[in-house]
Every structure is written in structure tokens, then in C-alpha cells.
Amino acid sequence: MSRTLNADEAAACDSIRRVCADVLAPAAAEVDETSSFPQAQLAALAELGVWGLNLPDAWGGPGLSAMALAAGVEAVAGSCASTASALTAHYLATDAILIGGDDDLRRRFLPEAATGRKLGAFALTEPRAGSNPADMRCRAVREGHSYHLSGTKHFISNGGIADFIVVFAVTDPTAAHKGISAFVVEKGMGFTASPPEKTMGLKGGHVFELNFDTQVPEANRIGAEGSGFRTAMKVLDNGRVEVSAMCLGIAQAALDAATHWAGERQVGGMPLAEYQGIQWMIADMATQLRAARLLTQDAAAKRASGVRFSLEAAMAKLFASETAGKVADLALQIHGGYGYTRGLPLERHARDLRIMRIYEGSSEIQRTIIARHLLQTH
């Protein structure tokens, strides 16, 4: 399992980093301050083919490795986490079609999604449904060659903006997780979206409540009836690696800011960097971040191998999300009172990172996945 990028992948990631530095980073504070959806930033990434970074060339993507995908997501998140949130939500939608759909469905949606002509969303979460699929209330009832889809989804990134939404609903209430199916609901099919939620961080990565009372053609079902839960779990494995990469990007930005500040800020007649306590803080931050990066690379390499990587994805997501929060907090501490102000990016990094321990499965869920995997092998 290779953990290195080939020459083409390295060049692609360099191009992404340049656009991130030139377009995304200068606008990140304004996106946060105004809670504006990063349309221009996403358009700039679309010109590089980043919207299809997770797709093979057969379906419009560049055909890069999972390692390159993680590196690209890290670069985007380190420059503007809100843009990364919208982008990775799009990946969840296209991953679902790629993994669970037939060639006709892939042909209809993936090439346009890869080029940036269609934005996707992934609707699994519900207001009153936790991690147990039996709690899902959204229903899809067959009516001839279509389904009547009804119910509510909550906290759906891109949901009120997207051109298509992958929606999970119960088609057989007696079959628990085997009774869940997935559908592609297109804009104009008759659903409503709330105004964007007011969130603590990722303010430009808009999330919505969606209400469905919708007819969906049978041709828009992803895979066979009852295959939706299996598709969702595979997609979430992918998503957890991407969340890990987002954490790395934001935490690296925080660490870079802290090391720069320590070298420039004078206290007691000498730079902060001369104080052993600050040195130790930076050493701990860098070491923990490197460990998180290695776990993320391990999960990405396993993903690229084509075998199941739920354990590696859960470990990477758990460690990277919790480590990144600590790194950002220490970086803010090094900045002192200045770090607590909105004039510097540290407080934004800390707010943006807080959700990482919750979405794509909370830290508690990741621990459950890890423990179950280990206990089942004994």
C-alpha cells in the first residue's frame, strides 16, 4: 500500500495548494464573518477538477489515489474550512452513486458533478434518529415506477443549494437496516429547505433541514431496495478519512501560526520561542499532528487497496479530530489574548474544528466501531 504520491499527483496537489493560497485563504475570514456560501472558492476549485477528485477517470474524475485525495482535502481545509466542508459533502453524494449505483445513474450524475456543473448533498441524519438505523423515520413507498418519499432530514450540508441529494429512507419497516434504500432526489422534485442553520463554526459550509413529500422515479434509486445502509456505511468510511484530512489541514494552519507568532512575539525582551515552556508546547503539537497524519495516511492507503478499512478510518477520524482540537487550543494559548480576538484566525480554527468530533460519526461512535472490531477478532 503506497503512501507516496506519483509525479502527476504531486503536481495536481501543488496546483490545488496554489489556488488555495491565492483564492481561498484571503477570503476565509470574510466567509466566516458573513456566513456566506463559498461559491467563488468552489468555482476556482472546479476549474482544477477538484470537485471530482474522489472519482475515477471513467466517470469524469482525474483518477488520483486516495492519498492524493486526502492531500487535496487537507490543502483546502487549511485555507478555508467552510469550503472544505461543502466540497467533502459533495464527495459523500458522488461516492454514494459511485459505490451503490448502476452505470446509468453514474452516467447521469457523476461527470457533471466532477466538473462542477452539479453540486451534491448527502442526507442521512434526521432530527430524532440517532446512530441506530431502526430510528430512521423517512419513508419511501413504491407507487408503480416511482416512490413517494416523505420525511425530514436535518443538518444536511449543501442541502438547500445542491442540484441533487442522496437521500436514505426506509422501504421496508420490518427489516431494520436491511430495509433502508437510497435515492437521488433532484432539484425541482418537490422538497423544501429551511434557511441555513446558524452554527458555531464552518459558517460558510451551510447546513439545512430538508422536508420531503416527493415523487422519485425508480430509475433514481441507488442499487437494489434494502442496499442503502450498506452503501451509507461504505461512504462514511470514505468520509471519515476526508474528515481526518480536514482536521490535519486546519491544525497545521494553527501550528504554523503558532510557530510564526512564537518567533515574532517579544516577551521580557526575547521572543516567545526562547522560552522552554513554549518550545515544549510546540513540540507536543507537532508530534501529535504527525501521529494523526500517519494514521490518516494509513487509512487512505488501505482505502486505495480496495479492502474494507472501517477500523483504520475510525482510528484516523477519532485521533485526528481530537488531536486537532488540542493543537488549535494550544496555538490559541501561545497567542495569548490576541488569539482570542477575531483579528487572528486562531479562534476561527478552534470553532471550525469543534464539529469534527461530532459529524461523520462522533468520537464515541468511532470508539465503539474500534472496540467492536477488536473484540470480534477474539
Is 4 exposed, middle or buried, given 0-12, 13-18 or 19+ CB atoms closer than 10 A?
exposed
Q: Which residues, at least 6 apart from 355, have a Cβ–Cβ distance to it below 8 Å?
A: 199, 200, 201, 202
30 counts as catalytic? no
Please state at what angle helix 39-47 crosses helix 81-100, rounded to 10 degrees.
60
Please state the separation of Cα 22 from the chain's center in Å.
Answer: 22
Quote the strand ranges of the chain, DSSP E. 120-123, 139-143, 146-157, 164-170, 180-186, 191-193, 207-217, 221-222, 266-267, 270-271
Q: Which residues, at least 6 apart from 330, have a Cβ–Cβ distance to it below 8 Å?
A: 258, 281, 284, 285
CA–CA separation, 90 and 113 (whole Å): 8
Which residue of the set 126, 186, 242, 360 is catalytic? Answer: 360
Catalytic residues, by residue number, are 360
